[in-house]
Chains A and B, each alone.
Chain A
Amino acid sequence: MSAQKNRVATGGRIDRSKPIRFTFDGKTYYGYEGDSLASALLANGVTLVGRSFKYHRPRGIISAGPEEPNALIEVGTGARREPNTRAPQIELYDGLVTASQNRWPSLDFDLGAVNSVMSRFLPSGFYYKTFKWPKDGWLFYEKFIRRMAGLGTGSQETDPDRYDKLYAHCDVMVVGAGPAGLAAALAAGRAGARVVLVDEQSELGGSLLSERERTIDGKPAAEWVATASAELASMPEVRVLTRTTAFAYLDANMLSCVERLTDHIGPSATGPRQRLWRIRAKEVILAAGSIERPLVYSDNDRPGCMLASAARTYVNRYGATPGQRVVIMTNNDTAYQTALDLTAAGVSVAAIVDLRANPTGALAQAARAKGIEIIENSAIIHVKGTKQVREVDVQSLTSDGKGVTGSVRHLYCDTVLSSGGWQPTVHLHSQTRAKVVWDDGIQAFVPGPIMPGQNNRSVGSARGAFGLNEALNEGHNAGAEAAAKFGFSNVTGNAPSAEAEPESQPLRSLWIVPSNVPVGQGGKHFVDYQNDVTAADVQLAHREGYVSVEHLKRYTTMGMATDQGKTSNVNALAIMAGLKNVSIPEVGTTTFRPPYTPVTFGVFAGSDKGDFLDPIRKTPIHQWHAEHGAPFECVGQWHRAWYYPKAGEDMHAAVNREVKATRDSVGIVDASTLGKIDIQGPDAAWFLNMVYTNAWTKLEPGKCRYGFMCGEDGMVFDDGVTSRISENHFHMTTTTGGAPRVMSWLEEWHQCEWPDKKVYFTSVTEQWAVFALNGPNSRKVLEKVVADIDLSEEAFPFMTWRDCTVAGVKARIYRISFTGELSYEVNIPPSYALHVWRALMTAGEEFSITPYGTEALHVLRAEKGFVIVGQETDGTMTPQDLGFEWIIGKAKPDFIGRRSHLRSDTKRPDRKHLVGLLTENPNDVLAEGAQVVEHVKDKPPMTMIGHVTSSYYSPNAGRSIAMAVIKNGRNRMGQTVYLPYEGKVIAAKISKPTFLEDGAPANG
């Protein structure tokens, strides 16, 4: 095992008895259980971990949390390779394979780094400006630019992992398990409320995990966290989710969270990899903490530059030091604690450079007492070293803080820590579209008033209350108050308490730390590390007239990368404000949108993939179709048998056989998917008069009638046959796809427009399985299995229905036809469907009964000119356009769509009409959707007069047949038109839309 040169001998939350092997860029390292990838790399002295997005500058680890802009890592191999994961958030496991990204051929020697040399020529907006010409140039340049400027690459293979989703509900949801969140969850939990506590880290504690000497209720912080965790775990109504990020705050207190179940175990794990929680809370307590801002100083991106608080976390929590000799630059007191903790761990702190004059806070005094040099009213003006910090130059600030003066001091160091103050993590608050407001005291945005309907409150440092006692108090009170709101007012115990905060001094905002050369001319002052946006870029945007922060974002791409500007937004806004000489809130704020940190697509899909992407609805005899070799056609969610190929048959041959057999003898089709609605009540007939275009009052019980439904715009909406069961009782059928739509249509009109009408609608689509026998021999087949009624033409005529028994099963048969042949639609209970189907097949054997699928069904109806709503119609066709003038009830005063049929536009004589098309070559089958033109040109555009709606080969007509909608088509009979399609032009003659002799639609 190689020595971990930056590992502290004792302390931290790692287990030194459990070494863990991992690789980074092919090289093997060891860390310990409890390490993050970032802490393990630091412990091993690896500080160069990536190359920057645009300039390919060498980069190191900046932070110890989700805000990490630099250390973006590819994790895993093969199908599991995942790019852009943040090194501080990757937990080590044995065999973990990681790699740096955005470098070629290697991290150490990267060809793209030439961009860095050329950076003067790559300012903001460079791509927009340069690659704008010629017009199509971007298409050419893009593939080169994408390769040079970009982040990691994901796997192209199918994700082998599975993901889980679930819903949860609670009274109080607490986001963040630091001191405020723990206190809140304890208070609400003790009161008996249903609580969910989520935290993105592997264990509870938040910032307390990085504390060295603080105590709560007299116990060391870590011990208090352990006690609190145990208490929460013992409460049955409290659910604690670690490794869980609340990444989206949606409407009405719904939070989407992703729980990482196995990412810390690796590919050997079983069970779902991640889980999407959709948690609906009555009240949300946002205790998400705060994020330290880096200072914007010259070459602040060199590996070894880090946030002061991150160094503290690494040394206290992980026993890993960022380097051996550290210089700290700060504008506030918190970085002094880092200096004290590093010193305690044996790290040499060369100096603390304080932007403020005369630092006398308690921590500053303590640092002085430890012999740490404090260089006050000064700034780091240069960072030397390319792949690792080597030295810094320090100079005194001028009185206005905009320049430097005096002699330059050189300090040797391998690490530069900076603290520019703290920004509360207001992301979830902001995601609700609530405003954030500027707090001058802490120089940060804090949550403004909450949005109506979004019951939440921010507590502790998430609202800018940075003291430990404040956090504990606010958390406790928020938890207790929230629980009480929902009836759980019996809170036991007081707020936990810590020793008083060390007395501190206000921070000094210097949004750009000056150097001895103007910004943009010497080193680079990075604002947004991940998108390589510098202070000079912000200045350029300002000079070019970008006034709004949203423009600034889009022009410079500031804040737009995977970190969403967690460390950069405020600095950029403040610099912009300085340039415009206005206050920061006047420049604006950026709105935070979900997700807080990137989320894998897999977790959104969950198990809704493959056969579960969309439900597959099956008819009662689905198994029979499958066993007989039928492929299935999707009709909405239904799977319907498409055709039944016999050995050696292709689809064309099978369909031709099915179509011919049906016309010649008898065919049978499973039409169970047809929509069916039971309509009862004294106003049922009145209602049908309103929703159908034709008249229903006089239909006698026992009879059936075909009808069109239109929308109020007059366009065909659905069609079907409705039968009168008794005076006040009807049975309506709809198209398969239209069934739910028609059902809600009827309900909507009834409930919203005519609530006084006495009628009830009930969907009975699945109460009946439907098998349609079609063909000249269908009666003969049926006679063999029906004993109790007379099936003769006289006794059971067309467009009537009868109750009877089929093969011993109670049935209702409708004599309606969608083929133009003698036809019986046999309706039976689905649990007997297979029995009846088999009985009909057996009875039909002597007539060579042929099961046919949806394709033959389409051909059979087209041969006779029956339309299919949704195929011949597209929401712009009236019944009149389809040639169904006769179905409009002229005597009816009112029906839905009537007034629209009187509009000048729907009365136009040259509307598109439904016609037939007969190709000149009878073997040419037109493409459905093909456009019809009168005059063919060499290439589009041509004047289109219509399009093909249905097209088949008809074995009974012995030729191809097609239906089309063509402008003024009914007055163009016999005219030859042309269909240019895929490089070929087919000529066709306009005909009536019926293709067999004796083919008048049988519409009763």
Chain B
Amino acid sequence: MAEAYTRRSALQHFGLTAAAAKSDVAGAEIVIGESAHRAIVNIRGNSSDAAFIAAVKSVTGVDLPVKPNTTAQSGAFRVLWLGPAEWWVVTTGGTEEKLVADLRQAFAGQHAAVVDVSESRTVITISGASARDVLARGCSLDLHPRAFGPGQCAQTGLTKANILLDQTDATPSFDIYVLKSFGDYLWQWFWLIGRDYKFAIKAQ
């Protein structure tokens, strides 16, 4: 899509870039930010069909994560388990059209579906020593390292929004995928909860 046009992220109106410039990331207990415009493509198919798994691998290089609530990564492609026949392929923003086309081609002849959902979500990133503590204010999942860690993801609720939670490293850092319409609400909720912590905003 033409770059000349103004593309806006879901949380842009909060002035995150300016806030990030003033933030002390090094001294923070939690660091939050928006990672906007990712390519997110929903794929559906039969995970017990070797052809389907091969098709996913041929396009993304990723071995399809068939274990519930896990993720798998290869290069720029990350595949997240959403359901027994549903995954997201997440990769660099701007490539979604090609990814959709490649996947459709790879799935030709199978009962599979490919839907671009990149534009429907934004990602709020949260990282830092107190990240689990903050999430526990609104998320009923057990995120203790013994129960949840990098390589795991979960669809759940965070306060009153539905999210997909993806732990990206052991810091811990999490990617929170949320429908854009809930972005404002969730961002302000973090703002509300975050006041009891030293928190910083990270530039994208």
Contact = CB atoms under 8 A, between A and B. Distances in A.
B1 A810 contact: yes
Given A612-B189, A681-B113, A832-B1, A169 B144 contact: yes
A227 interface: no
A858 to B, nearest CB: 21
Contacts of B118: 767
A762 B115 contact: yes
A280 interface: yes
A165 interface: yes
Contact of B1 (A194, A678, A758, A809): A809
Contacts of B1: 808-810, 829, 832
A618 B186 CA distance: 12
Interface string B129-159: 0000100111111101011000000000001
Name the residue in B6, B10, B180, B182 with the highest tally of chain A Cβ atoms < 10 Å from its Cβ. Answer: B180
Interface string A825-867: 0000111111100000000000000000000000000000000
B160 A615 contact: yes
Given A194-B146, A616-B185, A638-B181, A767 B116 contact: yes
Interface string A811-831: 000000000000000000111
Contact of B5 (A166, A764, A807): A807
A362 B139 CA distance: 55
Given A830-B119, A835-B5, A615 B185 contact: yes
B137 A166 contact: yes
Interface in A791-816: 807-810
Contacts of B10: 620, 830-831
A278 B179 CA distance: 27
Nearest to A615: B185
Given A280-B142, A831-B37, A760 B8 contact: no
A613 to B, nearest CB: 9
Given A618-B184, A758-B111, A767 B119 contact: yes
Contact of A608 (B113, B133, B160, B161): B160
Contacts of B160: 608, 612, 614-615
Contacts of B101: none
Nearest to A169: B142
Contacts of A611: 185, 188
Nearest to B188: A611
B196 interface: yes
Given A607-B192, A832-B1, A835-B6, A615 B161 contact: yes
Interface in B162-204: 179-186, 188-189, 192-193, 196
Interface in B107-132: 111, 113, 115-121
B13 A623 contact: yes
A70 B136 CA distance: 38
B185 to A, nearest CB: 4
Nearest to A164: B137
A619 interface: yes
Nearest to B120: A766
B2 interface: yes
- Interface size bracket, B side: 35 or more
A694 interface: no
Contacts of A169: 142, 144, 147
Interface string B19-37: 0000000000000000011
B78 interface: no
Nearest to B147: A169
B44 A831 contact: no
Contacts, number: 128
Contact of A619 (B42, B181, B189): B181
Contacts of A810: 1
B5 A768 contact: no
Contacts of B144: 169, 194
A807 B2 CA distance: 10
A765 interface: yes
Contact of B140 (A167, A614, A762, A807): A167
Interface in A755-772: 758, 760, 762-768
A765 B185 contact: no
B26 to A, nearest CB: 24
B115 A764 contact: yes
Contact of B4 (A608, A638, A768, A808): A808
A344 interface: no
Contacts of B119: 766-768, 829-831
Nearest to A622: B184
Given A616-B185, A831-B37, A167 B111 contact: no
A560 interface: no
Contacts of A167: 136, 139-141
A762 B161 contact: no
A830 B184 CA distance: 14
A765 B120 contact: yes
Nearest to B5: A835
B9 A762 contact: no
Nearest to B134: A166
A167 B1 CA distance: 43
A607 B142 contact: no
Contacts of B6: 832, 834-835
A787 to B, nearest CB: 13
Contacts of A617: 179, 181-182, 185
Contacts of A883: none
A19 interface: no
B67 interface: no
A271 B159 contact: no
A168 interface: yes
Contacts of A614: 160
A776 interface: no
B7 interface: yes
Interface string A128-164: 0000000000000000000000000000000000001
A108 to B, nearest CB: 45
Contacts of B37: 831
A164 B159 CA distance: 12
A272 B179 contact: no
Interface in B88-122: 111, 113, 115-121
B193 A607 contact: yes
A680 interface: yes
Contact of A762 (B4, B113, B133, B185): B113
Contacts of A618: 181, 183-184
A148 B113 CA distance: 71
A681 B8 CA distance: 33
A612 B189 CA distance: 8
A167 B147 CA distance: 14
A682 interface: yes
Interface in A596-640: 607-608, 611-612, 614-620, 622-623, 638
A760 B44 contact: yes
Interface in A4-53: none
11 contacts: A166-B137, A280-B142, A607-B192, A614-B160, A617-B185, A681-B111, A760-B85, A762-B117, A766-B119, A767-B119, A835-B7
Give the top 3 A-B pairs by smallest Cβ distance, nearest first.
A766-B120, A617-B181, A169-B142
Given A167-B141, A194-B144, 5 more contacts: A615-B160, A617-B181, A762-B42, A832-B5, A835-B5
Interface of A: 164-169, 194, 271-272, 278, 280, 607-608, 611-612, 614-620, 622-623, 638, 678, 680-682, 758, 760, 762-768, 807-810, 829-835
